[in-house]
């Protein structure tokens, strides 16, 4: 990250010197037990009466929100909100069905209805609500609508095509978009970066082996090596001349930069791989394709999906089909059926495709929200949620074991079925949720938590922090590949995940553990000059700061700590005039947006959680934030939030978690109305 030149509050240069402040404030870190930590924090943050009007409004809003959230629980014990992304999911679903020959008119009409409804006035499609038009997204949406029968002369299509040409046409789109077009002959395979299947043979210590990639990229790249090797072309049902700046030269020459520096080196590597393709030994290529197929099939989940996310499932199905798996093969049947479970049918007859589903994440956050809102810890809904979460613990190794062999499994994944890729973030929050529940089977609870803590501690990276899925997944090389021009492809540690781990370890009585201390040191070093923390998995500095401050105070740092005071000052400096907080996704690219955007329920809650943890319950900023949440609540106890506040890849892939607008406001209001959380599920003396 680089600093801005204008000195704006959102400057992105990490403040490494902050780590030295830890040694001056260690007296509060060594809490004897998690119960003592919670009690001390509650005393510090809940002193003094709140204004009756605000407190009464908070309590009324809390009661309504509790009732609304309890009504959304599934009979099995879990919660799941819709996970909304952008129309590339829907467009690529249609392209897949057309490629495999499995499309049907009902699906086509419903998908087209949804895609048309997401088009902006200028003819484009964006990747997040209120965002600018995106070239690749607009191209994919346009092609999907052509498949549905929309004509180039239709006004909405003509506007889209004109905008696409104005912004460089198909040639300027990202690699993944051009791969989809190449499947139908709308782009030349020779003009795409080469991705050889022999990559599967590189050992884990070798640069650019598949385990140097983040798990989501790894699951996508392996099947794409098969697609790249096979280079299939299905007859295109129409031409796309209207999307080229010059239809006479649809594939303009690739302008290779001078081979200097890393960019030039990787361009030369791609050129060499194109040359290798022509001379690759047939036996070696065949063995690589068979190994890739085996790798893919071994990672198919019990529900038929791959990694619990839609993109790897789509590419895996294409790859296996190219390798001879017919549509009736059990692997293919299960994979295709899994994609149908990502479909959300709407009342207007349209259908939206979820990129992923988030039941574990939603359930642990809902449990925390309800417990912090005063729902009794032995409430049947909480006990049922705890039962379901414990049943979802993953007890077999996954890809993470390549870098951590011998570590006993014990984490949780984000989704219903994703045993290969549990993540540290979910694991930390599930433990925090379980500890809020007075479960009748204390032995089972303790065994579950011990296993989770042991696994997540073992996933700590060398620098003392935690990433989402893997340890030390920090190679600088994957991001430099010409193929990787979209989204993050590695999984380095982040402040938000590390904060959740530190908070969980503090609750488990490990605030003074050297591993926790290293995490705290890393967090202090990562604080921005503005006082904020970067948010990797939520938008953005408000999320990062809302995660880190509660973690630091739970671990015993006093509210007077300079890092906490800077965070409080920054949060108050970016509060909106209406009393809420919001941050636009453009903050990932432009520092001036840091902490700035329309107020949203989830981001307002994140700011309040930080301020409350910092002992600012009586501050005017807190009262105004609470009043905003109470005042924007609907009659049924819910909140509306069209803005995207979740992050898949910063800027490139954004998420609107439909349950965020419920769980985080309820958590913040509950802590304001009832004080800091208690942990009845924590065995005394742990």
99 in the same domain as 72: no
Query: In the predicted model, is pLDDT for residue 284 greater than 80?
Result: yes
The tens digit of pLDDT for each residue in 462-512 reads 999 999 999 999 998 888 887 777 778 999 999 999 999 999 999 999 999
d(CA 396, CA 410): 8
Q: Which residues, 6+ apart, have CB-to-CB distance to 440 below 8 Å?
A: 378, 383
Residue 387: pLDDT band by 50, 70, 90 thresholds? very high
By three-state DSSP, how is residue 663 classified?
Answer: helix
Query: In the predicted model, is pLDDT for residue 355 greater than 50?
Result: yes
Q: What is the rounded average pLDDT for all residues in the chain? A: 90
Looking at 337, 353, 369, the residue that finishes a domain is 353
Looking at 353, 382, 412, the residue that finishes a domain is 353
Q: Is the pTM of this model over 0.85?
A: yes
**614 assigned to some structural domain:** yes
Mean pLDDT along residues 16-29: 39
Q: What are phi and psi of 84, to 5 degrees?
A: -100, 130
99 in the same domain as 39: no
Query: In the predicted model, is pLDDT for residue 23 greater than 60?
Result: no
189 in the same domain as 45: no
348 in the same domain as 202: yes
For residue 676, the model assigns a pLDDT of: 84
Residue 50: pLDDT band by 50, 70, 90 thresholds? low
234 in the same domain as 377: no
380 in the same domain as 262: no
Query: In the predicted model, is pLDDT for residue 604 greater than 80?
Result: yes
For residue 31, the model assigns a pLDDT of: 33
- Active site (catalytic) residues: 425
How many structural domains is the chain composed of? 2
70 in the same domain as 124: no
**6 assigned to some structural domain:** no
Lowest mean pLDDT among 31-40, 156-165, 308-317: 31-40
**365 assigned to some structural domain:** yes
Q: What are phi and psi of 395, to 5 degrees?
A: -120, 25
For residue 32, the model assigns a pLDDT of: 30
For residue 484, the model assigns a pLDDT of: 79
d(CA 114, CA 265): 43
**685 assigned to some structural domain:** no
Query: In the predicted model, is pLDDT for residue 34 greater than 70?
Result: no
Cβ atoms < 10 Å from Cβ of 103: 18
**Residue 654 DSSP one-character state:** E
Residue 678: pLDDT band by 50, 70, 90 thresholds? confident
**622 assigned to some structural domain:** yes
591 in the same domain as 520: yes
By three-state DSSP, how is residue 467 classified?
Answer: coil
142 in the same domain as 92: yes
Looking at 327, 353, 379, the residue that finishes a domain is 353
383 in the same domain as 304: no
**576 assigned to some structural domain:** yes
For residue 319, the model assigns a pLDDT of: 97
Mean pLDDT along residues 447-462: 98
The helix or strand, by DSSP H or E, that contains position 655, with its residue range, turns out to be strand 653-657
Burial label, 260 (beta-carbon count in 10 A; 0-12, 13-18, 19+) = exposed
Residue 93 sits in a domain whose CATH number is: 1.50.10.20
d(CA 625, CA 426): 27
**Structural domain span for residue 295:** 88-246+257-353
527 in the same domain as 453: yes
Concatenated DSSP letters for 71-97? HT--TTS-----EE--THHHHHHHHHH
**481 assigned to some structural domain:** no
More confident residue, 11 or 364: 364
Tokens of residue 432, six digits: 């925090």
Number of DSSP helices (H) and strands (E) in the chain, helices first? 23, 5
Degrees (nearest 5) of the Cα angle 545, 415, 372? 45
**467 assigned to some structural domain:** no
Mean pLDDT along residues 383-393: 98
The tens digit of pLDDT for each residue in 638-650 reads 999 999 999 999 9
302 in the same domain as 437: no
Terminal-residue alpha carbon distance, the chain? 40
């Amino acid at each position: 990250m680089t600093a801005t030149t204008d000195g704006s509050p959102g400057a992105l240069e990490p403040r490494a010197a902050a780590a030295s402040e830890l040694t001056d404030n260690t007296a509060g870190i060594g809490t004897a037990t998690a119960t003592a930590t919670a009690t001390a924090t509650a005393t510090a943050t809940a002193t003094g009466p709140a204004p009756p009007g605000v407190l009464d409004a908070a309590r009324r809003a809390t009661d309504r929100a509790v009732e609304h959230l309890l009504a959304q629980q599934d009979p099995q014990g879990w919660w799941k909100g819709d996970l909304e992304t952008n129309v590339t999911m829907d467009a690529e679903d249609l392209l897949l069905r057309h490629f495999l020959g499995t499309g049907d008119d009902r699906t086509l009409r419903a998908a087209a209805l949804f895609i048309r409804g997401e088009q902006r006035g200028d003819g484009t499609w964006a990747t997040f609500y209120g965002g600018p038009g995106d070239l690749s997204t607009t191209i994919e949406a346009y092609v999907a609508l052509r498949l549905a029968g929309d004509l180039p002369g239709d006004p909405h299509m003509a506007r889209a095509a004109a905008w696409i040409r104005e912004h460089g046409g198909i040639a300027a789109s990202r690699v993944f978009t051009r791969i989809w077009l190449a499947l139908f002959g709308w782009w030349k395979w020779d003009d795409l970066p080469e991705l050889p299947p022999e990559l599967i043979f590189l050992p884990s210590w070798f640069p650019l082996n598949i385990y140097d990639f983040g798990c989501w990229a790894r699951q996508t790249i392996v099947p794409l090596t098969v697609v790249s090797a096979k280079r299939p072309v299905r007859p295109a049902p129409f031409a796309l001349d209207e999307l080229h700046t010059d239809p006479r030269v649809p594939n303009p020459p690739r302008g290779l930069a001078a081979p200097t520096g890393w960019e030039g080196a990787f361009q030369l590597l791609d050129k060499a791989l194109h040359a290798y393709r022509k001379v690759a030994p047939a036996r070696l290529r065949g063995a690589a394709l068979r190994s890739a197929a085996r790798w893919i099939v071994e990672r198919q989940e019990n529900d038929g999906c791959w990694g619990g996310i839609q993109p790897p499932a789509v590419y895996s199905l294409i790859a296996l089909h190219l390798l001879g798996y017919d549509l009736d093969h059990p692997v293919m049947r299960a994979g295709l059926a899994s994609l149908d479970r990502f479909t959300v049918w709407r009342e207007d007859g349209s259908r939206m495709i979820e990129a992923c589903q988030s039941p574990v994440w939603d359930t642990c956050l809902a449990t925390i929200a309800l417990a912090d809102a005063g729902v009794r810890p032995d409430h049947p809904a909480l006990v049922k949620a705890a039962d379901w979460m414990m049943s979802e613990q993953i007890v077999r190794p996954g890809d993470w074991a390549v870098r951590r062999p011998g570590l006993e499994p014990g984490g949780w994944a984000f989704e219903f079925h994703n045993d290969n890729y549990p993540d540290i973030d979910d694991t930390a929050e599930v433990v925090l949720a379980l500890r809020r529940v007075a479960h009748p089977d204390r032995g089972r609870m303790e065994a579950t938590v011990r296993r989770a803590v042991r696994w997540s501690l073992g996933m700590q990276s060398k620098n003392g922090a935690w990433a989402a899925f893997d340890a030390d997944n920090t190679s600088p090389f994957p991001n430099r590949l010409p193929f990787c021009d979209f989204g993050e492809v590695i999984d380095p540690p982040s402040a938000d995940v590390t904060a959740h781990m530190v908070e969980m370890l503090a609750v488990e009585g490990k605030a003074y553990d050297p591993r926790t201390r290293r995490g705290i040191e890393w967090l202090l070093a990562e604080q921005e000059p503005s006082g904020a923390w970067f948010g990797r998995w939520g938008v953005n500095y408000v999320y990062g700061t809302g995660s880190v401050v509660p973690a630091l105070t739970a671990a015993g740092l006093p509210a007077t700590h300079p890092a906490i005071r800077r965070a409080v000052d920054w949060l108050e400096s970016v509060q909106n005039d209406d009393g809420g907080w919001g941050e636009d996704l453009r903050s990932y690219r432009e520092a001036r947006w840091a902490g700035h955007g329309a107020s949203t329920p989830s981001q307002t809650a994140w700011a309040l959680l930080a301020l409350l943890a910092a002992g600012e319950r009586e501050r005017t900023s807190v009262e105004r934030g609470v009043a905003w949440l109470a005042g924007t609540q609907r009659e049924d106890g819910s909140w509306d939030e069209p803005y995207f506040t979740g992050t898949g890849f910063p800027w490139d892939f954004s998420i609107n978690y439909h349950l965020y607008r419920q769980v985080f406001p309820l958590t913040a209001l509950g802590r304001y109305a009832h004080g800091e959380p208690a942990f009845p599920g924590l065995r005394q003396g742990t």
